[in-house]
C-alpha cells in the first residue's frame, strides 16, 4: 500500500507556509497562527519523504529582532552562498508613523537560529499603497534576487543587492515597482517554469471561507501580470479558506506540489488554520490545473540523490 502524507501535514495551528528544499531535505516555514500578541516566533518543519515531519522550535524569536514586538508572520527563506536568509513581516503597521514592516534574519543552517543583522526593518514604509507584509523571496536564474511583498490590495517588487540584506535599484534608478494584478489581495509567490514566470497571490479575506489563490504568467519577473484564473479555493467537502501558499519542485522533474493553509470544516475561528500539501499540475499549454483539496495528501517522495 502506497504511503501518503495525509492532510494536515503536522499538528498545530499554522498558516502562510513557504516550502523549500535545503541540503537534500524538504523544509516548511509557516506562521504560528494565533492572536498577534502571541505571534512572536517561527517554528519550522523538515522531512525526507513528505510523510514524516520533524518540528524545529523557535528558529527565530523576538529576542533576535529588536524592533519587532508582535504579529510576526509570512516567513520566506532562501539559501545563497551557504547562508540562509529569512524574510518576514512584523508588527502589522497601519501607517508610516509606526515601527515595523518587513525584516530579514540570517543563519548558518536551515534550522537557525536566525538573527537580524540590520537592527531595523528592510522595508518599513507604505509605497504605492502596499502594506509592508507578506514577503516572498525569489532568485532568478541569472542570480538576481527579487523580493515581492504587499498587503491592502497592492503588490510591489524590490531588487536586493548581492548581500541579500539591502535594497538595490532597478536599471531606471527606481527602488520600488508596483506590479499589482487584478484581484490581488496579499500573499505573493513566484515560480519559474520553462522560462516563464508564474506569479501567484491570495484573494479574499484571510479569516473567512473564501480565501483563495490565483495566478498570472509573464515573460518577465516584473510583469506585466494579467490574471488567468483561480487554482486553489475552498471545497465544501474538505476545507475552507485555502490560500497563502508556497510550493515544492522536485529537481530534474516536472513534479510540483503546492503547500498551503486551509481551515478545517469544523473550525470557524480565524486563526484555526492548518498546513496541507497537494499536487500542482500543469496543462500542455502551460496553464495550471485547479488544485484538488484532499485529506490524503501526496505519496511519499524522496529527493534525488545529489551525488
CB 199 within 8 A of CB 190: yes
**Alpha-carbon torsion 33, 17, 26, 299, what sign?**
positive
Residue 226 CB neighbour total at 10 angstroms: 11
Active site residues: 16, 186
Residue 142 CB neighbour total at 10 angstroms: 6
Torsions phi, psi of 63, nearest 5? Answer: -65, -20
Tell the burial category of 75 from Cβ atoms under 10 Å away from its Cβ (0-12, 13-18, 19+).
Answer: buried
**Alpha helix positions (H), 61-153:** none
- E-only strand ranges, 150-211: 156-160, 167-168, 177-178, 186-193, 196-203
| End-to-end alpha carbon distance in the chain | 29
- Residue 79: beta bridge partners? 84
Alpha carbons 258 and 273: distance in angstroms, whole number: 16
Tell the burial category of 307 from Cβ atoms under 10 Å away from its Cβ (0-12, 13-18, 19+).
Answer: exposed
Amino acid at each position: 500500500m502506497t504511503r501518503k502524507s495525509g492532510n494536515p501535514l503536522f499538528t498545530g495551528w499554522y498558516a502562510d507556509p513557504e516550502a523549500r528544499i535545503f541540503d537534500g531535505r524538504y523544509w516548511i516555514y509557516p506562521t504560528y497562527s494565533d492572536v498577534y500578541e502571541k505571534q512572536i516566533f517561527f517554528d519550522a518543519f523538515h522531512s525526507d519523504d513528505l510523510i514524516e515531519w520533524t518540528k524545529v522550535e523557535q528558529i527565530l524569536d523576538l529576542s533576535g529582532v529588536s524592533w519587532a514586538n508582535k504579529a510576526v508572520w509570512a516567513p520566506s527563506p532562501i539559501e545563497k552562498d551557504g547562508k540562509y536568509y529569512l524574510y518576514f513581516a512584523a508588527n502589522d503597521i497601519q501607517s508610516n508613523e509606526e515601527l515595523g514592516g518587513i525584516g530579514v534574519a540570517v543563519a548558518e543552517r536551515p534550522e537557525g537560529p536566525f538573527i537580524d543583522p540590520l537592527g531595523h526593518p528592510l522595508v518599513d514604509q507604505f509605497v504605492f499603497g502596499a502594506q509592508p507584509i507578506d514577503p516572498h523571496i525569489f532568485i532568478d536564474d541569472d542570480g538576481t534576487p527579487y523580493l515581492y511583498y504587499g498587503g491592502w490590495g497592492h503588490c510591489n517588487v524590490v531588487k536586493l543587492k548581492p548581500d541579500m540584506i539591502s535594497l538595490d535599484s532597478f536599471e531606471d534608478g527606481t527602488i520600488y515597482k508596483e506590479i499589482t494584478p487584478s484581484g490581488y489581495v496579499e500573499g505573493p509567490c513566484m515560480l519559474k517554469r520553462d522560462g516563464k514566470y508564474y506569479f501567484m497571490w491570495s484573494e479574499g479575506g484571510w479569516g473567512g471561507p473564501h480565501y483563495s489563490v490565483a495566478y498570472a504568467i509573464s515573460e518577465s519577473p516584473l510583469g506585466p501580470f494579467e490574471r488567468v484564473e483561480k487554482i486553489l479555493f475552498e471545497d465544501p467537502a474538505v476545507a475552507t479558506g485555502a490560500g497563502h501558499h508556497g510550493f515544492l519542485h522536485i529537481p530534474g522533474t516536472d513534479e510540483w506540489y503546492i503547500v498551503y493553509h486551509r481551515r478545517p470544516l469544523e473550525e470557524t475561528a480565524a486563526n484555526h488554520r492548518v498546513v496541507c500539501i497537494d499536487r500542482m499540475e500543469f496543462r500542455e499549454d502551460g496553464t495550471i490545473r485547479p488544485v484538488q483539496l484532499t485529506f490524503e495528501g501526496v505519496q511519499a517522495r524522496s529527493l534525488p540523490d545529489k551525488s
